[in-house]
Structure 1
Amino acid sequence: MVDSDAQLLRALHDEHAPALWRYVVGLTRDDALAHDIVQETLLKAWKKPSVLDQSESSARAWLFTVARNMVIDDRRSARHAHEYPTEFLPETPTPDSTDALLEQWSVADALASIGLEHRTVIVHAYYGGRSVAEIARELDVPEGTVKSRLHYGLKALRLAMQEKGVTR
């Protein structure tokens, strides 16, 4: 395209694009589609240099006619017939729980590898939500023993987790 054609096309865009966009938005009620149609219309004008040689009113009429025909073609298309725009997704995304599940398996394996007395106290305290006094009553051992088993059980659990490659 010759430099003068580029200037004419730029002038055509600057002169008509805003009005053309408003016209297409009025027809479609869709800003994004209107931008696409205006862009495609101006591309067609660029590919057809005879439009640039027309008078101002003829070029404007040609642009609006092309844009209108593109809107009609879009409305008749299969895409338009089968797509329904919506503000909300039909399914709600859920966070991936794979990491949490793998962590649970790692903790369960590590718990299985420590002694029964330590495992029992840890399960009662952390999974059962019981206090030291409640655990002591249930297991019929002194509170100090429960505290000691918790301390050494957690150390053993930490070591078992590190041996499995889970570190924090």
Structure 2
Amino acid sequence: MVTTERQTDDEAILKQAVRGDGQALAVLLRDNYTLLYRYMLKVTMNKAMAEDLVQETMLKAIERIGSFQLRSKFSTWLISIGTRLYMDEMRKKKRERNWQNTEQAMQSIRFDAAMRQDEWPEALDALADMPYDIRVPILLKYYYGYAYEEIAKWLDIPVGTVKSRLHNGLKHLRKELSQ
């Protein structure tokens, strides 16, 4: 009997929160804070990151409470928000690491060229800023002289895609170098 009373109370508070009752929402957030924090701590294995993600999750829940469908438990909804935020954060960190690795590699190449007293043309800087899927066909075609068909075969893309990437890449390079 106590369980059904508790469920009825939770449902009533949840409905009030969805309708915009700030007090009801505060109760829900307070009651689910520890569960969410423990979950995020296990997911991140990082106390500071878990704390940040819990706070961000709570803010998202406050912003979006009106869209909560009452089809699942409130805690499940919070966990889904927190999980998405964590995944977004990890993707962002991966992009940052890739950018740092690329920058370090470019600095190393420039340094090597300077040590050999080779010239480092501005075109290579502009080329370095391009996405790899455009940079590679440009290098293969215009620096190494390979045919469209060979490039298409190596990259496992249609010949038309090679031509399109070359066209768009050269257009981008011209724009960058003219500035």
TM-score tier after normalising by the smaller chain length: 0.3 to 0.5
Structure with more relative contact order (C-alpha pairs < 8 Å, separation 6 or more): 1
TM-score w.r.t. structure 2 length? 0.39
TM-score w.r.t. structure 1 length? 0.41
